[in-house]
Amino acid sequence: MSDRPFHDRDGFIWFDGELVPHRDAKVHVLTHAMHYGSSVFEGQRAYDGTIFKLAEHTARLRTSANLLGFDLPFSDDEINAACYEVMKANGFTNCYMRPVAWRGSEQMGISAKKTKIHVAIACWEWPSYYSMEERLKGLKLDIARYRRPAPYTAPSAAKAAGLYMICTVSKHAAEDKGCADAMMLDYRGRVAEATSANIFFVKNGEIHTPEPDCFLNGITRQTVIQLAERAGIPVHVRAIWPEELSDFDECFLTGTAAEVSPVAEIGPWRFTPGDVCKRLMTDYDNLVWGRLNA
């Protein structure tokens, strides 16, 4: 992955229906999304030239936009085709991809009904979100100060940019303590997720994972649950309280960027990456690389 800043790279970005040089994909400083967070996005990966679960990602992008009160000015088919177009234009077959939609600069203030909706798609080479060294020995997680908000206070089912500010703050605090990430609780004090990945626990060979009623039900999360069920591993989707963490044997995170990443510790709790983690890491890798049928 290049260490150059993201605004100063070669290649192309699909921007409102056209491929434009990467450095020319710009928005104005008074864009509504910059001031009020009126933006939604996706994170998806391509493996050997195939974008994994592209249709699901595009559908979620549209749902997120609708939850923020706007519609995408392109059809799902147009967005899907554009994803492949921008990947080909950049010469990638294995990459991370970022579709994003936002309100423009036609109107400033809380009300934004007159703004134009823009859509862009960028891609770049990006390995797993966590380093291989971290993944092999298990991640170290902090416990976040901020909690996931109640669904009656924010559009928690949307992958909306504004919902990630507390994630950035929490991840920075975790990194300052030598941790890779942070576990977030929900508004009730239950275990929710990490800052950008869903969380799973294992006890006696069975999986337990929080019910996603106030945070994103990740596409990778859903995929891993299906893989576990296919492998005959029982999955319990339920409320999990922090005091239960001492009872679990294994823990792992899932996400498009994180893929399947084992966890070794969260605050005072310790876990040992074991058979379930290793099985799901292997099965997920085989699935996305086309070695296992969906």
User: Mind telling me the catalytic residues?
Assistant: 159
- CB count within 10 Å of CB 66 equals 14
Query: At 222, is the secondary structure helix, strand, or coil?
Result: helix
Give the CA distances from residue 90 to residues 1, 12, 20, in Å, rounded to whole numbers and listed in that order.
Answer: 14, 6, 11
Nearest-angstrom CA–CA distance, 50 and 20: 23
| 8 Å CB contact between 267 and 230 | no
23 dihedral zone (left: phi>0; alpha: psi -120 to 50; beta)? alpha
Describe the crossing of helices 76-89 and 54-67 by its angle, rounded to 10 degrees. 120
